[in-house]
Structure formats: structure tokens, C-alpha cells
Structure 1
Amino acid sequence: MARAKQTGSAALPGTWKLQSFTTEDLATGEKTDLFGAHPCGYLNYGPDKRMYAILLEENRTAPADLVPTDAERIALFNGSCAYAGTWSVEGDVVSHHVDASWNESWTGTIQLRRFRIDGKYLHMTTLPGRNPVTGKECISELVWVKVE
């Protein structure tokens, strides 16, 4: 068992492209593709133990001008999630120690993700908690594919 955990952790470094992002509302059991069926995003785990994640809603609308209007800015913000920090692994849980984020309420927190690697796919599940986009108690499942 210890060997499998070591292999999983050793396989994390590199860049991963987001394939799906499904959120389950714990109160209702309803599952939604929070950022659409085909979200965009990248997750990187560096060998220096630095990480970043950026998740974007599919089909985002570009602002009419270089400088977005307030309404355009809100729509762009609501369709995104981004943060960076350091990472560590214990067993099947990766900890993201956030030191910069799109939503300042995450800065200084530790975001825990259960993970497993299946070939070129990284499957992650958040622990139950309040979703920073919807405000509801939920669990999110994300699937990433390794960028070769």
C-alpha cells in the first residue's frame, strides 16, 4: 500500500489539463457541471513544491473592449477560479497551501483534495465544504489529463 501511495505522489509533478468539473449539492444530491460540460483549465505541480490551478467556464464571452464593463467583469470573475501556493501529499490527499487566489477568502487557507492517478488521468475530489462560487455545501469531482 505504501508503494502505491508513493507512486501516486511521484506522478503528480507536471501539468494537467481539466477535462471535467462536477459539483454535487450535499443538501439535494443534485449534480451540475459548474463551469459547463467542457470547462477549460490547468493544474501544475512543480518539483519545487509550488502549484497553480486555473479553471474557466466554457464559452466565456470576451468583453466588447480591452477594459471590461462592470457587468462583463462580474461575468468573467464568476466563470473563473484561480489560485497558487505550495503543495504537499499525505496518503491519498494533496494539500494546496494557498498564498494567492482569485477570491481573497481562499488566500492563507489549505485546500484538501483526495486524488488517484489512473494512467494519464488525475481524479480529484474535494472534501465536503462550502463552494466559493455557489455558496452551497458540496463536493466537487475534477478529472484532469496529463499534458505530455
Structure 2
Amino acid sequence: MAQARQTGSAALLGTWKLQSFTTEDLDTGEKTELFGSQPGGYLNYSADKRMYAIVVDKHRNAPADLVPTDAERIALFNGLCAYAGTWSIEGDLVSHHVDTSWNESWTGTIQLRRFRIDGNNLYLTTLPARNPVTGKECISALAWVKVE
């Protein structure tokens, strides 16, 4: 945490590739990988204080045709999390001020993440909150690597 405080927002600048995403149910302690064991995704923090995040289950099935059926569309949506907005830092917390999202319930919210940077690795942990995929109270831990 000390390194993150010393380097401030400059340490977050750039593009990060998702390495892992684990969610812990606060009631049961059960840990799951909602987006599979090898999730795909990117996170970007720009100098103009804009950010975006996209996470996908890498094992989503492509639709049979260019236009997905309703069932295919639901499956694709269920394997996705994406949002964009602005960002700010206070201590070891980065705030994502969501302007647009895959799930309109996040649009207009502030998503808080604890962060730690270790070399080319970024670790984000959500604060306890209701998960938009499962509806359960949880904490999620995401590991990212800097794209060079």
C-alpha cells in the first residue's frame, strides 16, 4: 500500500490486462470465479481521468449467426461486465465514477476499489457490496498486469 500512496495516480496510468477475478460470498465464505478460471478483460486509466473496464468469461460461446438469438444474447450478457467513467484516488482507494455501464443499475454510481501496485501488477479489491451478477453480499479480488 505504501508504494501506491507514494506514486499516486501516476502509478495507475495505462492499460492493465486481467489475470484473475475471484469473488467471496460474505455469508458463506465460498469463493467463485464468476467469469471462469481464465477471465479476459482490460482496465484503463488515462491522464485525463477517464477510465474503462471490461471483463468477460473467455469461454463464452459465439452466436450461431451474426445476430444472436435471445438465448445467445442472454448468455453473452451473463458473461460480461463493462463500464466507463472518470476516476479519482484518495489514499489506497480508487473511485470509479460510472457514466455508462453494461448494467444500468451501475450508471451514476461510484464504485470503490482498494488498490495495491507491486511492480507491473495491480491488485484491486471491491468493498463489501451486493454483487450485480449473483445478488449476494460479496468482496471481489482482481489481479491485473500492466500492458507494456
Q: Show the counterpart of 2:65.
A: 65
1:134 aligns with 2:134: yes
Determine helix, strand or coil for the equivalent of 1:106. coil
Q: Secondary structure at the match of 2:105?
A: helix
Kindly indicate whether residue 119 of structure 2 is the aligned counterpart of residue 122 of structure 1: no
Unaligned runs of 5+ in 2: none
The amino acid across from 1:126 in the alignment is T
Counterpart residue number, 1:94: 94
Cα distance 1:115–1:3, how it changes in 2: closer, same or farther (>3 A)?
Answer: closer
**Matched residues in 2 for 1:40 and 1:10: separation?**
24
| Aligned-pair CA distance for 1:2 | 7.5
Deviation at 1:3, TM superposition (A): 7.2
Contact 1:121 1:143 in 2 (8 A): yes
Q: Give runs of aligned pairs for residues 32-111 of structure 1, distance below 5 A.
A: 32-111=32-111
Q: TM-score, normalised by structure 1?
A: 0.97
Cα distance change of structure 1 residues 80 and 4 upon mapping to structure 2, 3 Å threshold? closer
Contact 1:16 1:147 in 2 (8 A): yes
Q: Which amino acid aligns with 1:28?
A: T
Q: State the AA in 2 paired with 1:124.
A: L
What RMSD over aligned residues (CA atoms) do the two structures have, in Å?
Answer: 1.3
In 1, the alpha carbon distance for the partners of 2:81 and 2:60 equals 13
Task: Please name the residue that 2:144 is paired with.
Answer: 144
| Cα 1:113–1:4 shift into 2, 3 Å | closer
Contact 1:93 1:112 in 2 (8 A): yes
Q: Which runs of 4+ in 1 moved over 2 A?
A: 1-4
d(CA) in 1 for partners of 2:98 and 2:110? 6
Contact 2:116 2:124 in 1 (8 A): yes
**d(CA) in 2 for partners of 1:2 and 1:28?**
32
Structure 2: distance between partners of 1:57 and 1:82: 12
Task: Indicate the SS of the match to 1:5.
Answer: helix
Structure 1, 101-110 or 7-16: larger mean CA deviation: 7-16
- Cα displacement (A) at 1:29: 0.1
Q: Decide whether the 8 Å contact of 1:122 with 1:144 is kept in 2.
A: yes
Instruction: Give, in angstroms, the shift of residue 6 of structure 1.
Output: 3.4
Percent sequence identity over aligned pairs: 82
Amino acid at match of 1:147: V
Gaps of 5+ in 1: none
